[in-house]
Chain A
Amino acid sequence: MIQISQLSKKYKNNEEYSVVDLDLKIDEGEIFGLLGPNGAGKTTLISMLSSLIKPTSGSFSINGLNYQKNGNQLKQLIGIVPQEYALYPTLTAYENLYYLGSMYGLKGRELKEKINFHLEILGLEKFSNKKLDTFSGGMKRRVNLIASILHNPKVLFLDEPTVGVDVHSKNVIIENLKKLNSQGTTIVYTSHHLNEAEEFCTKVAIIDHGRIIIEGAPKILISQYPESHNLEDVFLTLTGKALRDHA
């Protein structure tokens, strides 16, 4: 599904590479967790895969489509849930979704039905005509998710989708992501919540200094380190306990 080959990224004003010669294969139907400390290169990798930034070298393809040759086709295949809400605060939830759905070529009754369906599933149908700036953080996160899945993407990238979210909203988001995955959507997700990742992901890769240091199913990784009881222990063993403040 996603084939990454020797992918590197060096930002103009940075001396070091953010992602270094990264090779990775993510299979269809997987829930793949990209884990790593601050500044490890997770967001840079997702930004490249979602066409936000251009790689310095290397290549990748999604569903056989190369990012250089099939830019717009590739964008149609994927959905991105960014870290920020990335919605218009003065528009209602429905208006936001109508506009963002239209950008994927959806229109008319089909679009309306999809919006109403997802609003109901994520418990927002009563608030569809309320402006976004009246929503709580959790409600905004749910709208943010709907905006990325209206067009039934083959691959969904999520950059810390549950950060700053109340427990109920988090639960609804995770349950819906599982449902989407069961319907065939491949999920690639970054998070600092390692317990959540351990439970949610079918496979994870721990990334540090732009390189993948380990990759595999969470249970298998934990079993490889006898002194570790969970994914967090594995993570700290591999990345160290020093603070990774990043600006």
Chain B
Amino acid sequence: MTLKHGLDGYRVLDITQYLAGPAATNLMVQLGAEVIKLEIGPHGEPVRNFPFCRDGRSGYFIQQNRGKKSLCLDPKHPEGLDLIKRLLRHCDVFIENFAPGVIGRLGLDWETVRKINPDIIMCSISAFGQEGPLAEHPGFDYIAQAYAAVTDLIGEPDRAPSMPMLAFGDVGTGVHALTAIGYALLDRERNGAGGQWLDISLLDTYFHHHEVSVQAYSASGGKIVPHRSGSHHYAVGPSGIFKAKEGHLMILALLHQWPILCRAMGREDLIEDPRFKDNDARMANRAEMIALIEAWLQTLSSDAAALEVLEKARIPCAPILSVPQAMAHPHMIERRTVRDIEDRLLGKFQIPGMPLRFSKYEVDENIQAPLLGEHNEEILKRLLLCPPEQVRDWERRKVLFAKAV
């Protein structure tokens, strides 16, 4: 048997919407799984209308939902709920990202689901987890980010914190969910352990990224207080964003790299200068240190020239690329970190690439985001042996929904 990819043959019932859940199943599709996207009628996934839209088709929806099969129904209609329960018997994974408790009120809590299919892996994604004092609060990426002490660490010290303009939290949570689901499947294959329930949250995911702040604050007994410090790190340096001839450059020269940077700048005299001789001294004289480096950058003919000098000395550095610049970069194009796709309705455009690269499998790019309810008939016929007339009848009675959007 030739497998298409690592998850070939696994079937996922996906009732998630917005971003964190769909990002998880987006990767599962690209790993070869069959994902049935269960959309709630009559309108389906809310992001089908998110900008940017062209001809009623959303780029946002397409990016996260390519290759999924759409089944659109009313889960509150008894016949709709019955269809979901029958499909659960044919699936390996059930994934949802409603607020805690909602899936239970729909009649699809873990106790019910495991009775229907003892081998299924159920994954619940939420903002704050399935229990605890915050569990009931409405949650989105930025809300969990603020609670996780992430927002507080971004921006100028004397101004409001800054919001990063991308969804680290949702996409990262999707990857965490994928990871947990995959290992629960592996457990089932090896140990025959049956299914289990996974509880993945935005808050846990964000907090998981604190590599320094939590342990340093805790172990120092509160002496080290992490705080936002604009373009430069508060505790180590030089490490940050420096004004260069044309734009800004990211430069780091920690520990043994400081003398190398001094030589690259033609300032060997700074190596033994008591103001800069070690990290503590450089932090005490941070403004002077930054001014020296920025003054040197101004003497060079261009940012590219500065990067050349720094890269030659193996000093970690980078231009601060804008999104359009990153998209046009030869490395992104050669590695397909940015890739071209074509949607039936929206046409050609670009999205981020598949971040998981396997030596044995190519990414299948010939996949389309589904129209609403596009696979109603195909799924119900193949898995539940429902005749087409029955599907038409359900569509007439608004148990199922389909629309070419």
Are the chains A and B members of one assembly? no
